[in-house]
Structure 1
Amino acid sequence: MKFAKKIITAVLIIAVAAVAFFYFSKKDQAPIALQDKESSLLDNDRAPAKDFTFRDLEDKEYSLLDFQGKIIIVNFRTIQCGACDTEMDFLKTFVPSLDSDKVKFIPLFLGDKQNAVKTYFRQKNAKFPAYCDDYGLSAIKYRVFALPTSLIIDKNFKVVVRITGAIDWNQEEVSEFLKALANE
């Protein structure tokens, strides 16, 4: 019996060490470009987007359908996510550069309280709107299992691209892709 406990303990220690190794070794990787995300492109004919509600930092409620007719980028994230934090540096330049008449960027904090997000934005000197999904129900609808995950939804409310992981949103191919999508 003691031998079995030792084996179970050893297996658990190895499993925890492996998870920790993979988690910490990926943290220092550079964000990946949109073109490297080919496997994230949806294989179907643009799946219909699923509506959900969320709140801004002033507690005003929105629905994803409120932005139908624009290109919508939903960026699922949390304050504690290391890759999300890295991506925030790119977003501080990218989001203000968007044509707000054509594109709506929704950084959606999952499970983070509005006051915590306000503090985070002040610390990061981010000057664009942020939104909260208190219970993460939107992530369940879209089967978000890793953060950050971004969805690009076209003007017809169809999901065009799903990106898992941090990317440099300021790359030329991103802006070219969004321009092409806006002209469809």
Structure 2
Amino acid sequence: MPELDPADPGAARRLDALLEQVATGDRQAFEAVYQLASGRLFAICLHVLRDRGDAEEVLQDVFTTVWHKAAQFDRGKASAMTWLSMAARNRAIDRLRAAPPRPLEDIAVAEEIADFAPQPGQVAEQASDRERLDDCLDTLEPRRRSLIRLAFLDGASYEELARRIGSPLGSVKSWIRRGLGQLRVCLER
């Protein structure tokens, strides 16, 4: 029996009927389902697993499952090919997840992987910069210091800040602008 032709609606209906017969224990129907669908299901397994041996094993598992669970197929929910394809894809993904991670074949590849973590010198510089910023913030009057922290460290908008403290928007902007000017002078020392 040839493989299923996706363009032939009659073939899809025939596969639906065959799968329903498999649910009754019909071995000839099971063989026909295998003949019609195994090529496509193998391709799905191979696409997911990228290993021919694993794909063959998963395909065998899929058809064992089909034999035992064909009664769960519901033509009203999906076509037989869709049901079979999902079973193959899910089983292949399960196999992929269960496999231990493959070791790097060449440790030199690890050297090419970018390391975005800050280097020790950068960490020290950032800590020093943060300490200087904190020291300069401490020189500001409390209201300006609080507004700058909320605006630039917590991400609050000027409008939010004005509502929170019950002051006009223009005043909040002015206090923050003056505070930033004082910070710049302090940090440039």
User: Normalising by the residue count of structure 1, what TM-score does the alignment of the two structures yield?
Assistant: 0.19
User: Normalising by the residue count of structure 2, what TM-score does the alignment of the two structures yield?
Assistant: 0.19
Which of the pair has more CA radius of gyration?
2
Query: Which structure dedicates a bigger proportion of its chain to strand?
Result: 1
